Amino acid sequence: MITVYTIRVEKQKTSILFIINPISGTRRKNNIRHAVNRYINREKFSYTYKYTEYAGHAEELSREAIKNKIQIIVAVGGDGTINEVASQMIGSESVLGIIPLGSGNGLARHLGIPRIIPRAIRLINKFNFTSIDTATLNGIPFISIAGVGFDAKVARLFSKSQKRGFFTYAHLITNHFINYRPKNYELHFEDGKVIKRKALFISFANSNQFGYNTAIAPNAMLRDGKLDVCIVQKPNFFELPIIANLLLLRAIDKSQYVETIRSSKFIIRQKRNRWINIDGEARKINKKIEVEVKPLSLKVIIPHEIK
């Protein structure tokens, strides 16, 4: 008589690391662990948490997670946190998850990721993901949007402010708009086209907005291998409410002050080193700015199919 033994093999759970920025945005983060413990599917996932302690720490944690073959790395914070986490994941097999707890949450809004924590966690449970484009600016990765000019100035001032949120952002714009002088830029595109513009700012949009539902590039797509280069002239101060409405209505491309050119690789020259905005964070950059798209280079969890 032959005795047959049945050995039950447990399916290995998908590993998740939650990288939490405790100071991003205006919302408190002390309930994140409780929410994850309550809503995550424990039958499918094994998970841990790590909190960032200083600027750049999320990059280190993300790099370590990839080295340890963590399958899902969740950025808990705003666009700056997402940039730090995702910048290390470009070209890897790890999948980015997002719980948007920043101020503007531009990328999360474009992707349709819920800003209500339990819903964002339930989305992670579904583990539906796709690959999106990323880009680099002088070798610095960005995921959502970058730019030079007035928006970089506002990003720098916003980073120094002790208060976050839309009203702080709007206050900085109205306070500094009048005295800001547009700068001269020379743009060289991959098809040989060269243009010169005096602009309030120029945005390089992979996703469609700055955040707060302000769509600077309503037609930008995350999977087309191109950026929307949005060249914005300075309007009259009294036209700012009209411009704001166009941003909120996703119709800014209809404005006479906005020119959009789509490109996958280009160079911008300016007269001196200035600040740039990279996913909402300000950095100092050289006079020569080289921007290039990295097609479908980042895997990210999404609620539905995107363009």
What whole-number distance in Å separates Cα of residue 307 and Cα of residue 305?
A: 7
d(CA 235, CA 239): 6
Answer yes or no: is 247 within a domain: yes
Regarding whether 32 and 85 lie in a shared domain, the answer is: yes
**Is 5 domain-assigned?**
no
Whether residue 161 sits in one domain with residue 72: no
**Are residues 159 and 51 part of one domain?**
no
Helix (H) or strand (E) holding 229: strand 227-232
- CATH code of the domain covering residue 104: 3.40.50.10330
> Computed from CA positions of residues 212, 215, 219, 222, in that sequence, does the dihedral angle turn out positive or negative?
negative
**Per-residue pLDDT, 7:** 47
Domain identity same for 158 and 49 = no
Q: Are 216 and 252 in contact (CB under 8 A)?
A: yes
132, part of any domain: no
User: 3-state class of 225 per DSSP?
Assistant: coil
Are 286 and 145 within one domain? Answer: yes
Same structural domain for residues 165 and 254? yes
**Residue 307 maps to a domain:** no
Task: Note whether 179 and 115 are same-domain residues.
Answer: no
CATH of the domain at 232: 2.60.200.40
Residue at which a domain ends, from 86, 101, 127: 127
- Domain stops at, among 127, 154, 185: 127
| Together in a domain, 145 and 287 | yes
Q: pLDDT tens for residues 253-264?
A: 888 999 999 999
Whether 103 maps to a domain, the answer reads: yes
Q: Is the domain of 72 the same as that of 188?
A: no
Residue 181 lies in a domain: yes
Lookup: tokens for 254? 């209809």
The percentage of residues in the chain with a pLDDT greater than 70, rounded to a whole number, is 93
Q: What is the pLDDT of residues 109-162, one digit of tens each?
A: 999 999 999 999 999 999 999 999 999 999 999 999 999 999 888 888 887 776
Residue 2 has what pLDDT?
47
Average model confidence (pLDDT) across the chain: 89
Query: Which pLDDT value is given to residue 178?
Result: 86
Taking 60 as the threshold, does the pLDDT of residue 26 lie above it?
no
Residue 190 domain boundaries: 140-295
Domain count, the chain: 2
pLDDT number for residue 154:
85
Q: Are residues 108 and 158 in the same domain?
A: no
